[in-house]
Amino acid sequence: MTQARTDDTPTPAETPDHTYDVVVVGAGPVGENVADRARAAGLSAAIVESELVGGECSYWACMPSKALLRPVLAQADARRLPGLERMTAGPLDTGAVLARRDSFASDWKDDSQVEWVDSTGTDLYRGHGRLAGERRVTVTAGDGKVTTLAARHAVALSTGTGAALPDLPGIEEARPWTSREATSATEAPGRLAVIGGSVVGVEMATAWQGLGSQVTLLVRGGGLLPRMEPFAGELVAESLRAAGADVRTGVSVTGLSRDASGVTLTLDDGARLQVDEVLFATGRKPRTGDLGLDTVGLTPGDWLTVDDTLRVTGSDWLYAVGDCNHRALLTHQGKYQARIAGAVIAARAQGRPLDTGRWGAHSATADHDAVPQVVFTDPEAASVGLTLQEAESAGHRVRAVDQDLSQIAGAALYGDDYRGQARMVVGLDREVLLGVTFVGPGVGELLHSATVAVAGEVPVDRLWHAVPAYPTISEVWLRLLEALRG
């Protein structure tokens, strides 16, 4: 796999400064878990980080975004309950919400994360990590000092992704928000345009509309949340409009400009939209552009293709774990991969056979069949496995069963005028669940039961004996099974 050096290829020191069993590039939650699992198995490990230890999730994604959303969703839930009208009629205290958000982002300081890394016995190197040939990583510190690390057994790349911005006239001058600015802003903009109808777009539209902004959500396609069942996007769009957001589908931005009054967007229908800030939530790209991939025969900027042990195709020492391998761009899936990769690296280093059987400790099979995700909007959207369209496209013989959640006693008790829907997709050949989707307030906590059913390939006739407690929203399982039986 390693290509011959050229004049442009960095030449590592003949003798590395330090040698470890495993070198991990990227100290987000994925990289931290790879290093921790390797250390727990008795291997020595180093981890390299150019920004904050703890990564995107801790400071600019999962934690701050959910801290922004939780008060908005709690207020929406409370407004559905008689007796709380006076307490919930006024606007949220945006300053208090932002202060709580700051605490969940550790005020963008990584001291506690560094302490945790130290507690595992992993050596931390701060600086830009870059491959420099087979089993070599160079670390360029802020002061320009270069340290060369060698890996006896494995290098694991856990560098994640960054925001992908479209090539539009005026976009650089407009200085748009990405997800980082959206989750770390110090005040609510008066007028905010959100471009993109997938997870980041709808969550940030929900958050900032609830925190006092006038949000306009612009979606190029025909609906929101295109990778979920269609009813998920429909219910979220309806709720955003009810909250006061302007949701427009089938429209694209063709150009933008910024002046003292804010940002002006030109749309493909000829309209112009003036806002104070614009957020582009239009996808992610791998952070592999300046990672030295060319020194090992790979293409800089590409997604990294891996097998189910997370080893890069064509290599016997290089691993790509988490978002940069494009298998499932979710923190919990990345951490799942990290646990497997750490165990795989240790087993191979110690000459032990890989276990891909009952425990599946060395095979990331859930990335194919049972990926769970919750979108923290009002209503929440939660899904695992395949949608009906995905199952049919994959050639499965299936049946979809739907249930109106407003007819479930637990949902009615949760809040007046409860609106939601559930669907399970049943594979008829084996009579197991291939996918489940819930949409409604509070349904995120239902998802793990569905994940167990899908990942465990539980036959639907056995699900009859998993009795849901009454009166809870989980009674939807009984109603779905009754509909399936007819």
Whole-model pTM over 0.85: yes
**d(C-alpha 34, C-alpha 338), whole Å:** 5
* pLDDT of 230: 98
DSSP class per residue in 466-482? SPPPTTSGGGHHHHHHH
DSSP class per residue in 305-319? PB-TT-BBTT-SSEE
Q: Tell me which of 473 and 359 has the higher pLDDT.
A: 473
Would you kindly state where each structural domain of the chain is located, as residue ranges? 18-57+105-162+286-366, 171-282, 379-485
Residues 6+ apart with CB under 8 A from 464: 481
Is pLDDT of 361 > 90?
Answer: no
* pLDDT of 10: 46
Confidence of residue 358 (pLDDT cuts 50, 70, 90): low
Burial of 6 (0-12, 13-18, 19+ CB in 10 A): exposed
| pLDDT tens digits for range 218-258 | 999 999 999 999 999 999 999 999 999 999 999 999 999 99
- State the chain's mean pLDDT as an integer: 95
Angle (deg, nearest 10), helices 29-40 and 111-119 = 20
Q: Which CATH architecture has domain 18-57+105-162+286-366?
A: 3-Layer(bba) Sandwich (3.50)
**d(C-alpha 361, C-alpha 355), whole Å:** 6
375, 205 in Cβ contact below 8 A? no
Q: Work out the number of other CB atoms within 10 angstroms of the CB of residue 309.
A: 19
Query: Cα(first)–Cα(last) distance of the chain, in Å?
Result: 57
**d(C-alpha 179, C-alpha 58), whole Å:** 13
* pLDDT of 403: 98
DSSP class per residue in 51-112? S-TTHHHHHTSHHHHHHHHHHHHHHHHHTTSTT-HHHHSSPP-HHHHHHHHHHHTGGG--HH
**Superfamily holding 379-485:** FAD/NAD-linked reductase, C-terminal dimerisation domain (3.30.390.30)
171-282 topology per CATH: FAD/NAD(P)-binding domain (3.50.50)
What sections of 258-393 are H helices per DSSP?
Answer: 331-349, 366-369, 388-393
Residues 6+ apart with CB under 8 A from 4: none
Q: Which residues pair with 45 in a beta bridge?
A: 22
Strands 191-195 and 380-385: unpaired
Is pLDDT of 360 > 80?
Answer: no
Cα–Cα separations (whole angstroms), residue 6 to 16, 138, 236, 297: 20, 17, 53, 12
| pLDDT tens digits for range 80-128 | 999 998 889 889 999 999 999 999 999 999 999 999 999 999 999 999 9
376, 72 in Cβ contact below 8 A? no
Q: Which residues pair with 25 in a beta bridge?
A: 48, 157
| pLDDT tens digits for range 132-163 | 999 999 999 999 999 999 999 999 999 999 99
432, 397 in Cβ contact below 8 A? no
**d(C-alpha 33, C-alpha 35), whole Å:** 5
**Among the listed ranges 1-5, 388-392, 464-468, which one has the minimum average pLDDT value?**
1-5
Decide whether 18-57+105-162+286-366 matches 171-282 in CATH topology. yes
Phi and psi angles of residue 113, each rounded to the nearest 5 degrees, phi first: -70, -40
Instruction: Measure the CA angle with vertex 29, ends 378 and 443; round to 5°.
Output: 20
Q: What tokens does 412 get?
A: 């009615």
* pLDDT of 15: 86
* pLDDT of 89: 87
Q: Average pLDDT for residues 386-391, to the nearest whole number?
A: 98
